[in-house]
Amino acid sequence: MNLLHSLKVMLGAAPARPVHITPAAAALHEAKRQVKGPDRARDIKAAHAQHASHKWRNIRWAVLIGVNLLFVLSYRFDVQLVEGALTASRVVGFHFADLNSTLQVMFAYKHVLINLVIGSTTVLLLWWLLGGRTFCSWVCPYHLLAELAEKIHVALARRRLVVDYTLHRGTRTVLYGVFAGLALACDYTVFESISPTGIVSRALIYGPGLALIWVAGLLVYEILFIRRMWCRYICPIGLTYGLVGAVSPVRVQYSLENCLHEGDCRKVCLVPHVLDCTKKTYADDTLVAIGADCTRCGLCVDACPTGSLRYQVKYLDKLL
C-alpha cells in the first residue's frame, strides 16, 4: 500500500494524508498538540541556533564532480578506466549503459542489444542498491548546474524579482510516454537530442558545442520562471531511476519523535511531495521511509535542525 502510494505520488498524484496511523504515531501527534505556539517557536529557534550543516551536500558535490572528472581524465590521459559518456560506457572493460538511453535505443532500433542488456542490468543493480534517483543528484552533471540555477532563482524570488511558477508533476509521466512513443513511432532516439544529461556529459568529455546553448536556455528559464523545471517536471531519466529505486535499501528515513514540523526540509527539497509525512500529523508511523521520487541528495538531512531525517540502509542494522 505504501509503495503503491509512493509510486502514485511520483507519477503525479497529490500526496494524501494517511488514513491509518499507528497508535504509537498517534500518541506522538497528540503529545505534540500539547506544545503551544510560543513554546514551539522557542524550540525551533533553539534547534536552529546550533545547527548549520552542508556535510552531505559537500560530499555529494565531490562525488558528482569526481565521477564526471573520471570520464574526462580517463579519456584525456588515455588510461581506459572509464570509457564513453554517461549514456553508455565501459568501466574497466565492463559495459555500463544508462537505463533510459538503453530503452530509447531499443525502442527506436527495435532490437534487443545484448551489450546494452548487460550494461543496463549492471547499472540497474547498482542504482537499485544505491537508491534509484541517486543517479540524479549524485552523478548527473545537469543536476549540479540546475542546483546552482536554483540558488539564483530562490535568491531572486526572495527579493520578489521573479515569481515561482509551478507545473503539474504529472507532466513528466505524460512526457515519458510521449518520448517512448516517439522513439517507437519514428525510429529515432528523439529524447536524446534534447537531453541535457547527455549533452553536458559529452561536452565535458569531447569538448563544448552548439548543444550547450539549449542547456543554457533551460537553465535561464529555470532561473527566471520555473524552479528546477527540467528535473521536477520533464526528465524521463529521473522517472526511470525512480521506478528502479522505489524499493531500494538505501533511503532517507524520517523519525517523527523529535521533529518540530517547521518545514525546513521541504523548502530545500527538489521533490517536496516526498516529504509530505513531515507535515504536522501527516506521519502514519514513528519511522517513515521517504518515497520513490527521492533523489537521496541529503539536502533535507543537512537542513533538519533536529536530526529527524537521516540516511538509512534497510536490513543493515539487522545484519550488523
Partner 1 sequence: MTPPLASRQKERRQLLRSLAMGSAMVGASLFGFFPVLKKWMPRLRPPGALAEHEFLASCIKCGQCVQVCPVKAIRLGDLDEGFGVGVPHIAARDQACDFSCDAVQCVLACPTGALSHDISKKEEVHMGLARLDRPETCLARQGKGFKGQARGAAYTGIHRYAEVDRWKPLRVADHPYDLELCDLCVRECPIKDAIALERLSDDPADRRRTPVVKQACVGCGMCEMICPTDMPSIVVDIRRQWGAA
Nearer to partner 1 (CB atom), residue 108 or residue 265? 108
Specify the residue for cell string 506544545: 35
Least distance in angstroms from the C-beta of 303 to partner 1: 26
- Identity of the residue, 71 or 254, whose beta carbon is nearer to partner 1 in the bound complex: 71
166 DSSP assignment: -
Phi, psi dihedral angles at 296 (to 5 degrees)? 55, 40
Nearest to 50 by CA among 313, 306, 290, 308: 306
Least Cβ distance, residue 205 to partner 1 (angstroms): 7
Smallest distance, Å, CB 214 to partner 1?
6
Pairing of strands 94-97, 88-91: antiparallel
Quick one: 142 or 254, whose CB is closer to partner 1? Answer: 142
The distance of closest approach from Cβ of residue 168 to partner 1 in the complex, given in angstroms and rounded to an integer, is 4
- The three grid cell numbers given for residue 198, joined into one nine-digit string: 547527455
Cβ closer to partner 1: 77 or 315? 77
Rg (CA), the chain: 21
Which residue, 202 or 251, has its beta carbon nearer to partner 1?
Answer: 202
Instruction: Give the residue from 242, 74, 114 showing the smallest Cα distance to 169.
Output: 242
Query: Where does this chain bind partner 1 (CB under 8 A)?
Result: 75, 83-85, 87-90, 95, 97, 101-102, 105, 108-111, 113, 115-116, 119, 165-168, 170-171, 174-175, 178-179, 182, 186-194, 198-199, 202, 205-206, 209-211, 213-214, 226, 229, 233-234
Instruction: Dihedral sign for Cα 93, 145, 107, 131, please.
Output: positive
